[in-house]
Homo-oligomer: A and B are copies of this chain.
């Protein structure tokens, strides 16, 4: 059975651009895996045994300080790549925030394939460079923005990425209406804040009419310009 040919992220993940015969080979070394919300795929510090592509769902990448303060390093949406090729140690935890599907490879299999198929390696390089850009923008957020600016930036980013992640799946979503894939505590762990500070900022934005919130996780952006101004 060839999962790749029917794969919903086939044209966006690092396997895009591969020829049919290459895809067939890749299909042999990878396999699908379903993750329930809350289930982990990678553990920081473990030997890096596997790498993966996200097919559907959202995962969080995280580490913690030695005394247990958690920091989320990033989110992985469909077509994003997970894991650490060419290193022995996994640098972060990866945990599904929603029920998810990933396409996993044993790391040695994937590395061998990559070295033999430079087209794949090139795609992985492009993706890694983009991820580095995104991560550096997050450094600006954590280093120089206040709580309000941080939440504004996150809401805009989640809106944008929710659309990008689903647009090929025919469910055209609006970047101004989306469901948060994480709890308030997790938002705090992304933004480097406490849950109370996050909650107060949500309240403030609601009171200012900038956003609407229903059932806690359904967000409507009412005044995009205000958010963009804060995030800039």
Q: Which residues of chain A have a CB within 8 Å of any CB of chain B? A: 61, 63-66, 69-71, 73-74, 84-87, 91-92, 115, 118, 121-122, 124-126, 128-133, 135-140, 142-145, 189, 191-192, 232
Contact = CB atoms under 8 A, between A and B. Distances in A.
Nearest to A128: B128
Given A115-B122, A144-B71, A145-B65, A139 B128 contact: no
State the oligomeric state as a number of copies. 2
Nearest to A124: B125
A128 to B, nearest CB: 5
Q: Which of A65, A69, A138, A144 has the most CB of B within 10 A?
A: A144
Contacts of A64: 140, 144
Given A73-B139, A121-B121, A144 B84 contact: no
Given A86-B126, A139-B139, A143-B189, 20 more contacts: A61-B136, A65-B144, A65-B145, A65-B232, A69-B144, A91-B133, A92-B136, A118-B121, A121-B121, A121-B122, A125-B128, A128-B128, A128-B129, A132-B135, A138-B139, A142-B142, A142-B143, A142-B192, A143-B191, A144-B192
